[in-house]
């Protein structure tokens, strides 16, 4: 399939899935949202998006089950990775022979799950750099950014990648098609592993607080260098000075709260396996010493256990 | 001075100082307690110790200031190491030319502080393996153990070491004089660093919970091996299988709460510098890679900051 997909299902219609789905629907695409908590509100009032000082609205096709949605050309997956076990039940009813699966989820290992179960040739992934919040059922607030980095799983971009990228671009989402998706995931992890992790493990420090303490600042850098070493051993070359760049950039973010810290403070599930567990497992299997990442991962498992 | 000290001051009369001081006083020694919170109660009612199902009592000489105590032959220091800055003020009025300083405090670096300020030749140290609680002003409950490992700072035992050891033994404290005090401190740290540290960093897990999780159990062992490596580089040889022995031994302790975890849960100061900071600094200065210890130390600093 080289043309853009004609029918799209959004699985995991939290802030992320709802926002990108609404953008596509507004552009005229046939977008079908799988909804749970917001189902009634969206059926009644549609989806509302507030961005750049204005509010816009799409009616949105909201469904209560994947069986009602049926097979589509593209499934966009916005589930929290902590709910990945649900994919086994959610994906099959949405598949025809050529259905593509695009995961916009965080961290590492999500494309692998889809590829192992439903075939690597179907799988694409995207990294979202966007600040969103679901402020009420069916109401999404977009605070800034919104870039989507889109790529194939385990191969270079193809015609279909460009077509899907163009579809998002036309819908007003700044999209870049990337040569190596997993390299991009590792680059994002270089920031997420230390900042999301240490913000929780220190009991709730914001980015500026983590950087202000010399000893913790050194742990941020050391965790970044471990992540870069793991990525390198797995074939994803990232220069060491990328750590300096990421730290520099973070100073300007002030009292920023990483998303995992917000999840943790609100008692929501934290994506421990995809952000820390899977990077540690893959790097460890490649023979890289990752002592700080391993310790942080094990602490986060304990700190986020509901018990 | 080869005979036992005749006059003894107890500085830091919490459970530890009060208990050992009361044992010595009961045996007839001239023991002078520096007290703050418990001063009035002890002046009125003396010190009470409950142990082995009975309660005994000594009148105890309680003082409100070191100036009132004056120079003594032996100062026993039971202060929390987080109050070490107070030593500068507390020690000088207690000194005559031959006064000995015996620190019973936790962790590393306490003998060094005393030696640097008042001369290494005065300094002894002791490790206490004892379960105590101050249950009311002037009332100490002794739950078990009580062994004291006594040694010289930076040299082998001398006649005076044996004399002080005998003094404690005669007072009913099982005492062993050790060849190398700092080696013993490192051996104790092999347990304290992982268990006291991880119990806080995991948000309050007991020893059995830390061991029951395979991933955390591996961190316990890895932290023990880092500690053994640091000790080895500093001239304190500890065999690697000491880690296995310590882990085995801990299984039998069940839902034990390490003392630092209790301090932390009760909002008391945690001895972060003496248990994690100083071992990391010394091992790091000796060129040993201590990534887990460093990360744990930095997390504990943040978690125990009152802010």
CA distance A35 to A208: 37
Contact A298 B215 (CB under 8 A): yes
Whether the predicted pLDDT of B1 surpasses 50: no
**Helix, strand, coil share of chain B (percent; to 5):** 50, 20, 30
State phi, psi for A100 to the nearest 5 degrees. -95, 150
Q: Is B302 on the interface with A (CB under 8 A)?
A: yes
Residues B172 and B13 sit within 8 Å (Cβ to Cβ): no
Residue from B23, B48, B80, B188 carrying the catalytic annotation = B188
Maximum CA extent, chain A: 55
CA distance A197 to A252: 19
Q: Is A225 on the interface with B (CB under 8 A)?
A: no
CA neighbours within 13 Å on the CB side: how many for B192?
A: 24
Q: Is B300 on the interface with A (CB under 8 A)?
A: no
- Residue A249 CB coordination number (10 Å): 10
- DSSP secondary-structure letter at A277? I
Contact B203 A302 (CB under 8 A): yes
Chain A hits for B203, Cβ within 8 Å? 302-303
Cα distances from B258 to residues A37, B207, B262, B265, in angstroms, run 44, 8, 7, 11
Q: Is B280 on the interface with A (CB under 8 A)?
A: no
Domains annotated for chain A, with CATH where assigned, are 7-179 (3.40.50.720), 183-304 (1.10.1040.10)
Q: Is B218 on the interface with A (CB under 8 A)?
A: yes
Maximum CA extent, chain B: 55
Q: Which two tokens stand for residue A124?
A: 């694409």
- Residue B14 CB contacts under 8 Å (≥ 6 apart), including other chains: B78, B80, B134
List of E strands, chain A: 7-11, 30-34, 47-51, 54-58, 61-63, 74-77, 100-103, 123-136, 139-152, 175-177
List of E strands, chain B: 7-11, 30-34, 47-51, 54-58, 61-63, 74-77, 100-103, 123-136, 139-152, 175-177
CA distance B239 to A116: 45
**Closest among B262, B247, B266, B246 to B206, alpha carbons compared:** B262
Average pLDDT value for chain B: 95
Is B188 among the catalytic positions? yes
Q: Give the CA-trace dihedral at B285, B287, B293, B298, to 10 degrees.
A: 50
At residue B2, the pLDDT reads 56
Nearest-Cα distance to chain A for B33, in Å, is 38
Of A222, A297, A303, the CB nearest to B202: A303
In this structure, the strands spanning B30-34 and B61-63 are: parallel
At residue A2, the pLDDT reads 56
Residues A18 and A140 sit within 8 Å (Cβ to Cβ): yes
**Closest among A229, A206, A212 to A293, alpha carbons compared:** A229
Of A201, A203, A292, the CB nearest to B292: A292
Contact A299 B201 (CB under 8 A): yes
| Nearest C-alpha in B relative to A297 | B215
At residue A1, the pLDDT reads 46
| Interface test with chain B among A195, A197, A199, A201, by most B beta carbons within 10 Å | A201
Q: Is B213 on the interface with A (CB under 8 A)?
A: yes
Nearest-Cα distance to chain B for A76, in Å, is 33
CA distance B205 to B196: 10
CA distance A148 to B281: 44
Q: Is A208 on the interface with B (CB under 8 A)?
A: no
pLDDT < 50: residue spans in chain A: 1
| Nearest C-alpha in B relative to A290 | B291
Of A205, A222, A295, the CB nearest to B219: A295
Contact A218 B299 (CB under 8 A): no
CA distance A197 to A226: 14
Whether the predicted pLDDT of B87 surpasses 80: yes
Residues B126 and B104 sit within 8 Å (Cβ to Cβ): yes
Percent of chain B beyond pLDDT 90? Answer: 92
Which ipTM value was assigned to this complex? 0.92
- Residue A68 CB contacts under 8 Å (≥ 6 apart), including other chains: none
At residue A3, the pLDDT reads 74
- DSSP secondary-structure letter at A178? -
* DSSP H or E run through B260: helix B259-265
| Nearest C-alpha in A relative to B205 | A302
Q: Is B202 on the interface with A (CB under 8 A)?
A: yes
At residue B157, the pLDDT reads 98
Q: Is A222 on the interface with B (CB under 8 A)?
A: yes
- Residue A107 CB contacts under 8 Å (≥ 6 apart), including other chains: A81, A185, A189, A192, A271, A273, A274, A275, A278, A279
Chain B hits for A299, Cβ within 8 Å? 198, 201-202, 299
Q: Is B267 on the interface with A (CB under 8 A)?
A: no
> Which tens digits make up the pLDDT trace of B111-122?
999 999 999 999
* DSSP H or E run through A266: none
Chain A hits for B216, Cβ within 8 Å? 298, 301-302
Q: Is A299 on the interface with B (CB under 8 A)?
A: yes
Chain A hits for B222, Cβ within 8 Å? 291, 294-295
| Nearest C-alpha in A relative to B296 | A295
CA distance B293 to B109: 17
What's the average model confidence in pLDDT over B285-307? 94
Contact B202 A299 (CB under 8 A): yes
Chain A hits for B215, Cβ within 8 Å? 297-298, 301
CA distance A146 to A128: 7
At residue B231, the pLDDT reads 98
> Which tens digits make up the pLDDT trace of B184-242?
999 999 999 999 999 999 999 999 999 999 999 999 999 999 999 999 999 999 999 99
CA neighbours within 13 Å on the CB side: how many for B153?
A: 23
Which residues partner with B61 through β-bridges? B32
* DSSP H or E run through A173: none
Cα distances from A30 to residues A22, A44, A78, A101, B150, in angstroms, run 10, 18, 17, 16, 79
Residue B211: alpha-carbon gap to chain centroid: 25
Burial class (CB in 10 A: 0-12, 13-18, 19+), B162: middle
Please tell me whether residue A208 adopts helix, strand or coil conformation.
Answer: helix
Catalytic center residues of A: 188
């Amino acid at each position: 399939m080289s043309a853009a997909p004609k029918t799209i299902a959004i699985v995991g219609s939290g802030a992320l899935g709802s926002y990108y789905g609404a953008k596509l629907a507004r552009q005229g695409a046939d977008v079908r949202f799988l909804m749970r908590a917001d189902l009634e509100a969206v059926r009644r009032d549609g989806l509302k998006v507030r961005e750049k000082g204005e509010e816009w609205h799409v009616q949105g096709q909201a469904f209560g089950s994947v069986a009602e949605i049926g097979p589509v050309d593209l499934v966009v997956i916005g589930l929290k990775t902590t709910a990945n076990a649900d994919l086994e039940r959610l994906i099959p009813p949405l598949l025809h022979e050529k259905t593509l699966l695009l995961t916009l989820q965080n961290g590492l290992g999500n494309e692998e799950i889809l590829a192992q179960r439903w075939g690597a040739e179907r799988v694409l992934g995207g990294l979202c750099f966007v600040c969103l919040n679901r402020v009420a059922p069916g109401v999404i607030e977009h605070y800034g950014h919104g870039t989507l980095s889109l790529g194939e799983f385990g191969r270079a971009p193809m015609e279909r990648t460009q077509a899907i990228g163009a579809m998002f671009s036309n819908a007003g989402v700044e999209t870049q098609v990337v040569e190596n998706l997993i390299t991009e995931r590792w680059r994002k992890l270089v920031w997420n592993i230390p900042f999301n992790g240490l913000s929780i493990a220190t009991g709730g420090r914001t980015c500026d607080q983590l950087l202000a303490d010399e000893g913790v600042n050194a742990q941020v850098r050391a965790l970044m260098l471990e992540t870069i070493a793991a990525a390198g051993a797995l074939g994803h070359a990232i220069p060491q000075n990328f750590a300096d760049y990421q730290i520099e950039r973070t100073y300007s973010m002030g009292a920023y709260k990483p998303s995992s810290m917000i999840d943790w403070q609100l008692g929501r599930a934290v994506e421990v396996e995809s952000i820390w567990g899977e990077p540690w497992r893959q790097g460890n299997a490649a023979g890289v010493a990752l002592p700080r990442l391993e310790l942080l991962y094990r602490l986060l498992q304990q700190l986020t256990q509901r018990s």
